[in-house]
Structure 1
Amino acid sequence: MTNIAFFDTKPYDKVWFDHFSGEYQAEITYFESKLTHKTAPLAQGYEVVCAFVNDTIDEQVIEDLYQGGVRLLAMRCAGYNNIDFKAAFGKIHIVRVPAYSPYAVAEHAMALLLSLVRQTHHSYVRTREFNFSLNGLVGFDLHGKTIGVVGTGKIGRVFIDICKGFGMRVLAYDPYPNKSVPVDYCSFEELCSESDIISLHCPLTEESFHLINRESIAKMKEGVVLINTSRGALVDSQALLEGIRSKRIGGAALDVYEEEAELFYEDRSSTILDDDILMLLISMPNVLVTSHQAFLTKEALQNIALTTLKSVESYEKGDVMEHEICYQCDTCHNVTGQRCF
């Protein structure tokens, strides 16, 4: 039986992990608190820790986990920019869930886009107050519009297919173009200048940090709509706010936010937010924010649990872990079918 310390637990996390834990001989202890240097001691005596994208896994946390006996960190998400990989190398193996459901995220991106441009979220609020006026609810057709898709991985490709189904012209930018994808690739600058709508589907790297900034916004069409269901730090939030105020950006739909770690996934309805930028963004009538829920479907949650528990099982058996990652995966043994170290 493998003992797993599970951090940042929400009720929906337990459903499928509990369902499959017996099959994979896993005994899970759930902690509601996020993984930080203050909570890392809770993992004392556990060999496996399961964490999430907004947990703090820096050098101190890595060392605390290692000294407490942890040897595997299983991220139940695709993102991993919150981990100090150099500190973990040689001490703690790290696995992730690279693709739980590209359809979930891509479909949520389209749901955000449709809600924003057709103002269904405003209509919902109005009709609940018996206000049936249509004033101020004029939208626009997606058919015939040009949408720029940044990132053509699994999620980006699914989103491209959805957009084509709406009769949209699709442009794509990716530093590593996939020639098998039937889409018109272009430079990021061209994508900015020609797109009526821009949707982000790329990972957060040093190169993509604040990809959407004052300079790139200045190159965009006036009234452009921005969709972000990837990583919050792809967008400079201050620049976004300025772009909305100047009307260069006609609307924004965000499922992620660069300072979301202490906010998203929690009920903050009875508190005053310290983040002035987020408060101002949410107050804008042409901004729609959801709290990092694009992944949240039954199918995705099932895949997350299965993939994570399979990785833990592979670790316990001494097998190669298919989804192991490290800071030098381009050159480590992982590329030759061995563990990273």
Structure 2
Amino acid sequence: MKILFYGTKEYDQIYFEKYLPEYPGIEIEFAHAELEKQTVSLAAGCDAVCAFVNAEIHREVLQRMAGLDIHLLLLRCAGFNQVDLNAAAEYKITVMRVPGYSPEAVAEHAMALTLTACRRIHKAYNRVRENDFSLQGLAGVTLCQKTAGIIGTGKIGAAMARICHGFGMRVLAYDVYPNSDLDFASYVPLDELLAQSDLVSLHCPLTDATHHLINIKTIHKMKDGVILVNTSRGGLIKTEDLVEGIRAHKFFAVGLDVYEEEKNYVYEDYSSAILSHSTTARLLSFPNVVITSHQGFLTDEALTAICTTTLENARCFLEGRTSGNEVTA
């Protein structure tokens, strides 16, 4: 089996080349280009393609893949909302993902964003680098004995709930399917969670029902001085409404590892560019906002799990076996 990896970075190549010898019969080629309709032709002669979370894999992309006799799409990520699964089924393309590479990695990053934003670590870091040791404007808040609201209690949300519990926080949770393992958490309706939480952390998938879950109406239901963190999907938050809420001093701090505009910028260097008409640039102008570049997954343990699971998915397909990681409409 020959697989073309799209949108690859240096760390992708390092990790996959490290583990590839354990999977004889599988050959990998790496491409920097993202998987889109204009780049499908790069995979001519391949048996499968592999893409990451930022690739938008619509019907035309899948149709062109099928035209090249490619019937396996590997996702080296957990999310699959970016794939037209109905079209994949129509063109007999199997879609396989990495469902749980390291929930703790993402949850720990969510807490890192929380602490960085609420203790003004980003401001202090830059200040001290300029030999400014003043404390003006750096006062934060203590998380212990505060209330954490976890929206979505799958593997990552559950890990974040445990971290918050370990910090001595009261934990409220909201999920369509409550997690019975979280015996310390209280499941409440969403409006109640928003009204009572000092920290709101998003860990739910992006669906039609959750798109713009955080909007001006739900923001108004939150406490004044709330901390909002999102390490799930950018589309969960309506960015224009978030900007309005920040300007109205609704938030003590905001930490984002994902955001609506990230497809245009994520994983690329735009340090010499002017981001005209960019909502992300507006968010970066606020002193109580911390933004990272969708790096919650970026740990040695998570990258190892992503590599081995992706390669195992490919081997299962090659041998005609199911892995349990197949995604269907």
**TM-score strictly above 0.5:** yes
Residues 187-237 of structure 1 show CA distances to partners (whole Å, capped at 9, x for unaligned) of 000001001110001111111111101110011111111000000000000
Partners of 1:274 and 1:44 lie apart in 2 by 37
Percent of aligned positions that are identical: 48
* Cα distance, 1:67 vs structure 2: 0.4
* Cα distance, 1:180 vs structure 2: 3.1
Whether the 8 Å contact between 2:261 and 2:279 is mirrored in structure 1 is no
* Cα distance, 1:118 vs structure 2: 0.8
In structure 2, the residue matched to 1:330 is none
User: What pairs with 1:46-125 in structure 2 (closer than 5 Å)?
Assistant: 46-90=46-90, 91-125=92-126
* Cα distance, 1:57 vs structure 2: 0.6
* Cα distance, 1:321 vs structure 2: 2.7
In structure 1, the residue matched to 2:241 is 239
Q: Does 1:211 align with 2:205?
A: no
In structure 2, the residue matched to 1:290 is 292
Which stretches in structure 2 are left out of the alignment for 5+ residues? none
In structure 2, the residue matched to 1:23 is 22
Q: 1:309 aligns with which of 303, 311, 314?
A: 311
User: What pairs with 1:1-341 in structure 2 (closer than 5 Å)?
Assistant: 2-25=1-24, 26-90=26-90, 91-182=92-183, 183-327=185-329
* Cα distance, 1:275 vs structure 2: 4.2
Farther off after superposition, 6-15 or 269-278: 269-278
TM-score normalised to the size of structure 1? 0.94
* Cα distance, 1:14 vs structure 2: 1.1
CA RMSD of aligned residues (A): 0.9
* Cα distance, 1:132 vs structure 2: 0.5
Whether the 8 Å contact between 2:118 and 2:252 is mirrored in structure 1 is no
* Cα distance, 1:274 vs structure 2: 3.4
Partners of 1:298 and 1:272 lie apart in 2 by 33
Q: Which AA in structure 2 matches 1:76?
A: R
Farther off after superposition, 141-150 or 16-25: 16-25
Q: 3-state DSSP class of the match of 2:263?
A: coil
Partners of 1:320 and 1:80 lie apart in 2 by 18
Residues 266-291 of structure 1 show CA distances to partners (whole Å, capped at 9, x for unaligned) of 00111111342111101100000000
Partners of 2:215 and 2:3 lie apart in 1 by 41
Aligned residues: 326
* Cα distance, 1:155 vs structure 2: 0.8
Q: 3-state DSSP class of the match of 2:316?
A: helix
Which stretches in structure 1 are left out of the alignment for 5+ residues? 328-341
Q: 3-state DSSP class of the match of 1:78?
A: coil
